[in-house]
Amino acid sequence: MTAAYHWLFVPLTLGLALVMAVMETIYVIRKDDFWKKTAQYWMKLFAINFAVGIATGIILEFEFGTNWSNYSWFVGDMFGAPLAIEGILAFFMEATFFAVMFFGWEKVSKRFHLASTWLTGIGASISAYWILVANGWMQNPVGTTFNPEAVRSEMASAQAFWEVISNPVAVSKFFHAITSGWVTGGVFVVGISCWYLLKNRQRKFARASILIGSIVGIVGSFAVMLSGDASGVHAAEFQPMKLAAAEGLNDGGRRAAFTIVPGIRIPGMLSILATHDIDGYVPGINDILNGYTDNEGNEIPSVAEKMAMGRKALVALSLYRSTDDPSEKAEARYALEENVQYMGYGHLEKPEDVIPPVGIVFWAFRFMIGLGMLMLLELLVVGWLAWKDKLTGKRWLMIAALACIPLVYICGQSGWIVAEVGRQPWTIQGLLPVNVAISSLSAGAVKTTFFLFLAIFTLFLVIEIRILIGAIKKGPETSNE
């Protein structure tokens, strides 16, 4: 929930960073003050969003220590290293380039200022990468070994670190998150610009902003589709239960159909999306419960078998930590290493525990895709009409563009639900279920801290929206043509 709240601010930061960088580039190339003022206006909205969004992520780090202490210890340096790099990088890049971007208009050269604007956006994106390296590892824990002595996951070598940072799940998540931010930024810019057109204000500014916003949003939309395709393939490979839940697929098979909505299906489409092969096998929920043979011919054990292996791992861990006999210790370590990849299954009570809330994931997936397609359509239509200068009089379209602003947030949050609710019950896929990852706190204590955070930060959100609306009403400093 806290991460979802943080995610309210991040996409707009990423998207507006690109929009204003493109606008300033046009200013530097054309030497036209109109583009400078246009870029400055969106920079102002960027700053307001940034000011309120900044540090909402810090609360997550507090929660790791308070609510997720077992998890925090278990993940060890694997989680600490990327987050530390993110923190240091974000601080230095933002303290320098962000400051130059806001304060340096008349104090540094145009090119240096432009470089600072681009580097602010690039810095924010690189920060996101390190966060998603940590998140990607939770979805696909590669590159680490479990140390039974310390009860931690450790990166043993530089090679392991490389495996962690090049984790395919992290890479596809990164591109998916960044480019969805471009869509959010594009839809936001187009929507606000349409509001000016509805008010018959700042027409030149609004049209120019719609053109840039729609191009950024359209490029982002196609990039989201490509990265989403990669995410789908990775889900099929590393988290098949998440994909089965997102599709509501009880019984899988070859030439699996993609469900648009219940009752409307495209034969073979799911196999194509998940495996890039119409004859590719996609396991359903029951196949995963009972075991199946994957597309490489590997026999995937049933959940019951994984649970048995997980229990062996936990008993071996217990013996390893309690015995002083070297031969017993060696045997226990061997048994642990043989079964460690299923260690988390040892905590489950019954096989069905591996099924996430299917209804939530299924509908969130449909909201994400449906709203994403709607955003692309809106950007194409409004962008095209702005290009042809034919938006005048199309009030309904401008109202629709304005209404798309909340919808693009719902779209982004739906994606977050698919990714995070879809991987339940795991905190770390296959290794650590949520009920073991959490601290020994009462539910009441966790609720108290969460709702306290929610109340305080919602107050900040209300303040942001008020400042944002004030800035929008005031408008840019371009002439009111």
Partner 1 sequence: MATVWHFYRDSFRNMTWGRPLVWLILLKVFILFAILRVFFFKPAMAGLSDEERSRVVGERLTGEHPEVGDPVPVPETYQP
Residue ranges in contact with partner 1 by CB under 8 A: 44, 47-48, 51-52, 54-55, 58-59, 62-63, 65-67, 69-70, 73-74, 99, 102-104, 107, 149-152, 248, 250, 285-286, 289-290, 302-304, 307-308, 311-312, 314-315, 317-318, 321, 343, 346-347, 349-352, 355, 358-359, 436, 439-441, 448-449, 452-453, 456, 460, 463, 467, 471
**Judged by CB, which is closer to partner 1: 261, or 410?**
261
In the complex, minimum distance from the CB of residue 83 to partner 1, in angstroms, rounded to a whole number: 15
CA–CA gap between residue 156 and residue 124 (Å, rounded): 29
**Judged by CB, which is closer to partner 1: 285, or 368?**
285
Residue type, 438: I
**Judged by CB, which is closer to partner 1: 137, or 453?**
453
CA–CA gap between residue 113 and residue 69 (Å, rounded): 43
SS3 state of residue 208: helix
Query: How many residues are listed for the chain in this entry?
Result: 481
Q: Would you say 147 and 160 are in contact if contact means Cβ atoms under 8 Å apart?
A: no
SS3 state of residue 53: helix
Q: Give the tokens for residue 481.
A: 């043509």
**Judged by CB, which is closer to partner 1: 340, or 382?**
340
In the complex, minimum distance from the CB of residue 449 to partner 1, in angstroms, rounded to a whole number: 5
In the complex, minimum distance from the CB of residue 182 to partner 1, in angstroms, rounded to a whole number: 24
Residue 45's nearest CA partner among 178, 182, 217, 192 is: 192
Q: Give the tokens for residue 27.
A: 């200013």
**Judged by CB, which is closer to partner 1: 20, or 307?**
307
Q: Give the tokens for residue 335.
A: 């048994």
In the complex, minimum distance from the CB of residue 318 to partner 1, in angstroms, rounded to a whole number: 4
In the complex, minimum distance from the CB of residue 296 to partner 1, in angstroms, rounded to a whole number: 24
**Judged by CB, which is closer to partner 1: 311, or 394?**
311
Beta strands at 432-433 and 426-428: parallel, antiparallel or unpaired: antiparallel
In the complex, minimum distance from the CB of residue 389 to partner 1, in angstroms, rounded to a whole number: 32
In the complex, minimum distance from the CB of residue 204 to partner 1, in angstroms, rounded to a whole number: 23
**Judged by CB, which is closer to partner 1: 147, or 480?**
147
CA–CA gap between residue 115 and residue 117 (Å, rounded): 5
Residue 365's nearest CA partner among 421, 425, 415 is: 415
| Sign of the alpha-carbon torsion through 99, 105, 110, 114 | positive
Place of tokens 């500014």: 205
